[in-house]
Structure 1
Amino acid sequence: MMMTPHLSIELKQTELWLLAEKAIYWPAQRALLVADIHFGKAAAYRRLGQPVPKGTTQANLQRLDGLLEQYPSQRLIFLGDFLHAPESQTTATHEQLLAWRARNPQLEVILIRGNHDRRAGDPPVELGIRVVSEPLLLGPFALQHEPEPHPTHHVLAGHLHPAFRLHGRGRQRLRLPCFCIGERVSLLPAFGSFTGMMDIEADSAQRVYVTGQGGIWQVR
C-alpha cells in the first residue's frame, strides 16, 4: 500500500482533502479545518499535580505551521475545543500562541465554541480569533463541534476523537485515529497530540479513513 499525506474525496459535490496530520483542507475555500486541538491540556494536568509531558503546545503549533506551509490557506477554522480548561490559560501557553499568531498575521482564524471552550473561556483577544457559536454555515456544510445532524447542511464536526481498530493475524490489533464520513454527519479526528480517542463502530453507509505514520488510507 502506498502511503500518501492526503486523500481527495468528494462530499456534497465538494472536493475536500483528508490530511494524514488529522485535519481537512478545503481547496476551493483555501481553508484548513482542525478539530479538538486542546491547547494547554498538559499544563492543566500539571496544575493538578499530574506528571505529564511538556512541549505539547509547541508541538501542535509546529504541526499547524507545517500544514499552513504545505496547503496554502487564507482561513483556519477550529471546530471546537481550542483551549482545554481554565487551568490552560497560563502565561506560557499564551506567549506561545501569541508568537504563533505573529508568524501568521494575515490568516483569518475562526473558533466554533466547543464544550471545553465554554468552560475554559475564549482565547485572548490579542490572538485575533473570531469566536462563534455552532453551526457555522459555509457552502454545503455546517461546521460544528457537536456531531448533531443539521436540517439543511452536511455536518463536519469533532468532539468524539474517533478511532478505528484494525485487526491483523492472531491477536494483532492496531488502534488509529480516523475520519468517519457519513451521509449527514462526518467526524474529524482530534488534532491535538495529547488527547484521548474513542472507538467508533462505522455502519455500511460510512466511509472510514485512518491515519498513521504520515499516511492516510481508507479501511471501509
Structure 2
Amino acid sequence: MSHSDSFPSPFPLRWAGELLQLLPERALWWPDARVLFVADLHLGKAAAYRALGQPVPGGTTQENLARLDALMARLAPHRIVFLGDFLHAAQARTVLAAVEAWRARHAGIAMTLVRGNHDGRAGDPPDALGIDVVDEPFLLGPFACCHHPQTHATHFVLAGHLHPVCRLHGPGRDSVRLPCFVSDAQQAVLPAFGEFTGGWLMEQAPGRRFHAVGGDAVWALPEQE
C-alpha cells in the first residue's frame, strides 16, 4: 500500500486521564466515548465574503462537509461536539440547504454546538437540524467544552476560537505555517476544521506543547526550554 493510499495517522496522547487522538483532519477523537470534537467549521464564510463583493472561491461549504463526511465514515462517532463557530454568519438558503442535506445523512448521530462568537451573529442553527445548542462551558466527562480558551476549576478545557498555527523553520530563511493543536496544563486549543479560516500564530510558553498538522500526519514539536 502506498503512502497516498494509507489512512491518515493520528497522534495518541492523554488529557485529563483519557486516551485521545489528534487527527490530521484537524479534529479530536475520544475513542472510548466515541465523541468527535470539531472547532471552527465556519460554514458559509466564503459565501458571506462573496455577498460583500469579494472574489473568493466557491464550494468551501461542500468541501468542509465532505471532509467531515469522510471522517465520520471512518470513525463512526456516537456524538459530535462543535466547539463554536459552526456557521460563520446569517446564511443564504443555498448554504443552509447543503447543511440540511448533510445532517439528514447523519440523523442518528447526536450533535452538540457550544455557542461561539460567530454563532451569536449567525443565530442558532435551525431546529430542523436537530443540533443541541448550549453555552460554554459544556461539561462532558472530564472535559469542559468551550469556544473561547479559558480555565475551569474542575475540568480540562477543550476550546477553539484562535485557529492556532505554528511556524516551522527550514534551511536559510525558509519557513512554513501549519495548523496545530496547542495544549497547556489544563486546556487545549484545537485547530480550525474549516477551510478559508486563516490562523493565529501561537507563542511559545513554559509547559506549552505544540502538535503540528501536515498532510496525513500529526507530530509533536520539540518542547522549548
TM-score, normalised to structure 1, is 0.96
Number of aligned residues:
217
- Map 1:1-220 onto structure 2 (within 5 A): 5-86=9-90, 89-220=91-222
Shift of 1:125: 1.2
Is the CA contact (8 Å cut-off) linking 1:113 and 1:132 kept in structure 2?
Answer: yes
The DSSP-based 3-state class of the residue aligned with 1:110 is strand
| In 1: Cα distance, 2:123 partner to 2:56 partner | 23
Shift of 1:58: 0.4
Shift of 1:202: 2.5
After superposition, what is the alpha-carbon deviation per residue over 1:44-99, rounded to whole angstroms, capped at 9, x for unaligned? 1011010111000000001101111111201011000011112xx11111111111
| In 2: Cα distance, 1:197 partner to 1:69 partner | 27
Shift of 1:204: 3.2
The DSSP-based 3-state class of the residue aligned with 1:190 is coil
| In 2: Cα distance, 1:37 partner to 1:5 partner | 21
Give the unaligned 5+ runs of structure 2. none
TM-score, normalised to structure 2, is 0.94
| In 2: Cα distance, 1:98 partner to 1:199 partner | 34
Backbone CA RMSD of aligned residues? 1.3
Is the CA contact (8 Å cut-off) linking 1:180 and 1:202 kept in structure 2?
Answer: no
| In 2: Cα distance, 1:175 partner to 1:160 partner | 15
Shift of 1:22: 0.2
| In 2: Cα distance, 1:179 partner to 1:93 partner | 28
1:111 counterpart letter in structure 2: L
Give the unaligned 5+ runs of structure 1. none
1:73 counterpart letter in structure 2: P
The DSSP-based 3-state class of the residue aligned with 1:28 is coil
| In 2: Cα distance, 1:72 partner to 1:83 partner | 23
Matched-pair identity in %: 52
| In 1: Cα distance, 2:168 partner to 2:151 partner | 28
| In 2: Cα distance, 1:59 partner to 1:184 partner | 33
1:47 counterpart letter in structure 2: A
Shift of 1:212: 1.2
| In 2: Cα distance, 1:85 partner to 1:102 partner | 22
1:162 counterpart letter in structure 2: P
Shift of 1:181: 1.5
